[in-house]
Amino acid sequence: MNYSQSIPSASNAPVEKPANDAPIIVGLDIGTTKIAAIAGRKNEFGKLEILGFGRADSSGVQHGQVLNINETMTAIQKALNNCLDSNPELEIHEVYVGIAGHHIKSMQTRGDIVRQDAELEIQRHEIEHLISNQRKTFIPAGDEIIEVIPQVFSVDNIKNIKDPVGYNGVKVGANFHIITGDKNAIKNIKRAVERSNLKTKDLVLQPLASASAVMSDLDMEAGVAILDIGGGTSDLAVFYEGILRHTAVIPFGGENITNDIKLGLGVLKGQAEQMKLQFGSALAEETNANAYITIPGLRGMPAKEISVKNLSQIIQARMGEILDFVSFHLKQIGIDARNLNGGIIITGGGSQLKHLIQLTEYTTGLNARIGLPNEHLAPNHIEELKKPMYATCLGLILKGCDDYENKHKIFLEKPKHLSVPESLKADKLEDVNPAKVLLASDATVAPQVGINNGDARKKINIWDKFKNNLIDLFKEEEDKIIE
C-alpha cells in the first residue's frame, strides 16, 4: 500500500501564497505502529502548508523505543519514499524527530548567574548562557539530557518573569524543567535516521510536539493537560499559568489494549485490532449487552461468538489504568481541576475510541475534549491530517518553524539601513531608467513578488506542483466487516 497523498485543490478555499523565505521543515514521527514523514512550512499567514506526506507501518519499534535498527531504517525509508512520491520536487536531508519511551524522565532544577554590571540591560546571550549551563546538571550514568526548558525567571528580588531580557539587575535565575533519556535509546534513534541518509536536526519530546499542534494560547493560559495516546506509550504534558509544569511517559498505549483483547477473548491480533476499532468502547455500560460479534473459526473450527460488552470491559479496564496514571501525576505536582480550567486534551491514535471523553471526565474529574491539529493548518490541507494521530508529526514541523524564527529574530529586530544605489545619486539622476529605480527601491520585497529571484519561483513551483498533482492515495483495503 502506498501511503502518500497530494493536497486536493479546494475550489472554495482561498489559495494562499507561501512565505518565500520560510524553510521547508520535515517532521519524522517514529512510532510503535506507524512512521509518518510530513514536509511543510508556514505561509505568510502563519499557517502550515503541507508540501509532502508519507507514512508506513512501523517495525522494529516497541513501546516507543527503537529495538531493531535495520527494520526501523527500512520503515523510515518507505515513509520517506512515499513522502517524496507525493512531491518529487522535494529534497529531504534533515528531519525533526520525536522521541518517547519508558526511558524518558524529567526533573526540576534551579540555575543562577551573577552579572558584573547591574546597570547594563540583560541581553539575550546571557539568558542562553544560563540555559546552556543547565546541560551540566548531574544526571544518572547512562542518561542524556534531551531538552532544557526554562519555566520562570527572576532578576534580583523580582520573581515570576517570563522573559528577563531588558531588565536591570545583578543576579538572574530561573527554574528549569530538564528532560532526560537513556543514551542507548537515543543513539538507536539517531542511527536509524542516519542509515536512512538523513541528519537529525533535533530530538523533540513527543508530548511537547503534540501539545504545540493541538493547543492554543488560551489553553496554555487556562491550564491544560495534554494526553497523547500512542501505540506503545501514552505521553503527558501539563501546562499551568503559561508554563510547562510536568511531563511524563505512561508505559501503556493502544497496542496494550489490542493485546489485552487478544488474550482475553482468545482471538488473533488482527481480529482484536479490528474489533477494537469497529465495535470497541471505553465505557462498557454504554454498549448493548445483547450484541455479539461472530468470529470465523480457524481451519474448519466452529465460529466464535464474542460479546460486545465483554470487549468494552477489557478496553475500559486498560484505558482506566492509563487515566489513573494521569490522575496520579497531577496529584504528584499538586494540580487539580481548579488549576486546569482547560481540562484534558486527548490526542494520538488511541483518542478515537468511542466514549473516551466520558470515561476521562469520570476518572479524572476534569473536562475533556479531543485535540485535533486543524488550528495550525492552512485551509487547503490534506483531510487525512485532521486525524489526531498526526499531531506529533505536525508539532515537529511547528518546532522547526519556531527554531528558524527565533534564530532570525535578532536580524528582524535590527533597523534596516537602506543604502542609496550609485545610479540614484544626485549627479547621475539624468541617466536613470524608471524601471531600474523601481527595482532598486523595492529590493527588499523583490523575493516576495518573484522579481529576479529564482529560488522564490522554485519554491512556488514546488507548492503548485504538489497542490495540483491530484492522486488518489490512501486506497487501503476496506476494513473487513466481522460478521
Q: Which helix (H) or strand (E) holds 178?
A: strand 171-182
Q: CATH 3.30.1490.110 spans which residues of the chain?
A: 105-182
| pLDDT (0 to 100) of residue 39 | 94
CATH fold of the domain at 105-182 = Dna Ligase; domain 1 (3.30.1490)
> 354 near 318, Cβ under 8 Å?
no
Cell of residue 196, nine digits:
536512512
| pLDDT (0 to 100) of residue 409 | 62
Closest by Cα among 237, 277, 231, 273 to 253: 231
CA distance 200 to 129: 24
- Does residue 182 sit in helix, strand or coil? strand
Closest by Cα among 77, 18, 12 to 465: 18
CA distance 191 to 198: 10
| pLDDT (0 to 100) of residue 435 | 37
Q: Which CATH class is domain 218-371?
A: alpha beta
Q: CATH 3.30.420.40 spans which residues of the chain?
A: 218-371
Cell of residue 67, nine digits:
529495538
| pLDDT (0 to 100) of residue 109 | 94
In the beta sheet, which residues pair with residue 175?
Answer: 110
How far is residue 435 from each of residues 419, 426, 438, 445, measured CA to CA in Å?
Answer: 18, 18, 5, 15
| pLDDT (0 to 100) of residue 275 | 93
- Relative to beta strand 199-205, strand 171-182 is unpaired
> 99 near 204, Cβ under 8 Å?
yes
Q: What is the pLDDT along the chain (483 residues), one digit of tens a residue?
A: 455 554 443 333 333 434 447 889 999 999 999 999 999 998 888 889 999 999 999 989 988 889 999 999 999 999 999 999 999 989 999 999 999 888 999 999 999 999 988 889 999 999 999 999 999 999 999 999 999 999 999 999 999 898 999 999 999 999 999 999 999 999 999 999 999 999 999 999 999 999 999 998 889 889 999 999 999 899 999 999 889 999 999 999 999 999 999 999 999 999 999 999 999 999 999 988 899 999 887 777 888 899 999 999 999 999 999 999 999 999 999 988 788 999 999 999 999 899 999 999 999 999 999 999 888 888 877 788 888 999 999 999 999 999 888 777 644 444 334 344 454 444 444 444 433 333 333 433 333 333 344 444 444 444 444 444 434 444 444 444 444
> 441 near 450, Cβ under 8 Å?
no
Could you tell me the pTM of the whole model? 0.78
Give the neighbor-by-neighbor strand order of the sheet with 243-250. 243-250, 234-240, 224-229, 344-347, 368-370
Cell of residue 346, nine digits:
486527548
